[in-house]
Structure 1
């Protein structure tokens, strides 16, 4: 019997600690084609792990007893509680990357793929392209979707050497501005189609109408 693919030293960080204020409630738990929005993202992480693209991962959550934490465990992904989720996306980044940093092996290269919990159609091809870019020497890489080529997309890949820059991120702005200010080249990875967010109930309705 042949062994499965050897996992790349790349971990997933799924950001899922937001309050969903624009949606009007728990958008990551809202049903989409019979499953919570977040479950679709976690299923893609599972598929990437089975394909050898990811080794493991974590999901940032607002509390240990939040339903998102239970979803994470169901998909064999570690839930990580964000101490101050109201401070925005930056707090989730620090919590997730901090969890990964606790388990690094200094002599082994490592990277993180950062995914948003409200993008249920994130394609496996995006993760594959990011990992390939990292193996080719990129320290940072970002998906660029054909549907919106001028919009910075997710996931975002960060080499371990860049993880400390999460300390400089503020509010919901993420790491893009920090990387640009530091002169870090973000390699674009072209991906067919799109990767829409679920920000409002109308967004969810549009996705329900898609196959």
Structure 2
């Protein structure tokens, strides 16, 4: 039974390691009366999955739904503009996004690494703050995003980062609009580390290891499925 705020339920209503609600139950509410016009979610999904040895980690099924679609639904439930980066030759990933309230953003230089997605997202954000969400983190749900967004709204000029329950910084991360110019100058697979260096982040602890769990290899997936039963 769904309880609490918005589309995703209460963060207190989902035990550590549990997954967000079935994404076939699509909701695009505006999360109450929050002013979200100055925020864009960037769901990074343009990687090659080369460590999966021929499989695509973002098309792995979680609760009978491809991981990419599940995470896109969680993002769309926040009621803000959602950009999903894709490589130029990823039609199956594009198909996984069909009928969702998200905007595919093809990144021609995706093979370069994460920087290409961040550059594209910063350019497309049109001056809004950017919530950077990694698509290979299956335990991040709509209520986790809502908690991070709430912290951003309370401190819109600060970097906001989800964290493990022990305070270890993780993802997603909100990069305020004042730092977007730095993202447009990134290169390679370094991510946003250089842009965020020296910035004091507001940390948002999430239950368990949700903010730190990403699945890159078949072994990662097997261990995670054994732990969660999914």
Q: TM-score, normalised by structure 2?
A: 0.75
Q: What's the secondary structure of 2:163's corresponding residue?
A: strand
Matches within 5 A, 1:2-17: 5-6=32-33, 8-9=36-37, 10-17=39-46
For 2:63 and 2:220, the matched residues in 1 are separated by 14
**CA-CA distance at 1:82 after TM superposition:** 0.5
For 2:62 and 2:219, the matched residues in 1 are separated by 12
1:6-31 deviations in Å (ceiling 9; x for gaps): 45122210000000111123211122
Provide structure 1 residue ranges, at least 5 long, that are not aligned to the other structure.
Answer: 50-54, 105-109
**CA-CA distance at 1:65 after TM superposition:** 5.9
1:67-93 deviations in Å (ceiling 9; x for gaps): 222223432200001021111001011
For 2:90 and 2:136, the matched residues in 1 are separated by 20
Q: What's the secondary structure of 2:52's corresponding residue?
A: coil
For 2:53 and 2:205, the matched residues in 1 are separated by 33
**Structure 2 residue 230 is matched with structure 1 residue 190:** no
Aligned to 2:47: 18
Provide structure 2 residue ranges, at least 5 long, that are not aligned to the other structure.
Answer: 1-28
Aligned to 1:97: 122
For 1:125 and 1:35, the matched residues in 2 are separated by 19
**CA-CA distance at 1:171 after TM superposition:** 1.9
Aligned to 1:69: 94
Q: 2:163 aligns with which of 144, 154, 158?
A: 144
**Structure 2 residue 194 is matched with structure 1 residue 167:** no
For 1:45 and 1:71, the matched residues in 2 are separated by 14
Q: How many residues align?
A: 193
1:20–1:199 Cα contact (<8 Å) kept: yes
What is the CA RMSD across the aligned residues, in angstroms? Answer: 2.1
**CA-CA distance at 1:149 after TM superposition:** 3.4
For 2:46 and 2:143, the matched residues in 1 are separated by 25
Q: What's the secondary structure of 2:130's corresponding residue?
A: strand
Q: TM-score, normalised by structure 1?
A: 0.82
For 1:65 and 1:199, the matched residues in 2 are separated by 17
For 2:152 and 2:63, the matched residues in 1 are separated by 33
1:126–1:189 Cα contact (<8 Å) kept: no
For 2:92 and 2:171, the matched residues in 1 are separated by 24
**CA-CA distance at 1:144 after TM superposition:** 0.7
Q: Relative to structure 1, is the Cα distance of residues 175 and 98 closer, same or farther in structure 2, using a 3 angstrom cutoff?
A: same
1:64–1:79 Cα contact (<8 Å) kept: no
**CA-CA distance at 1:64 after TM superposition:** 6.8
For 1:47 and 1:167, the matched residues in 2 are separated by 27
Aligned to 2:68: 38
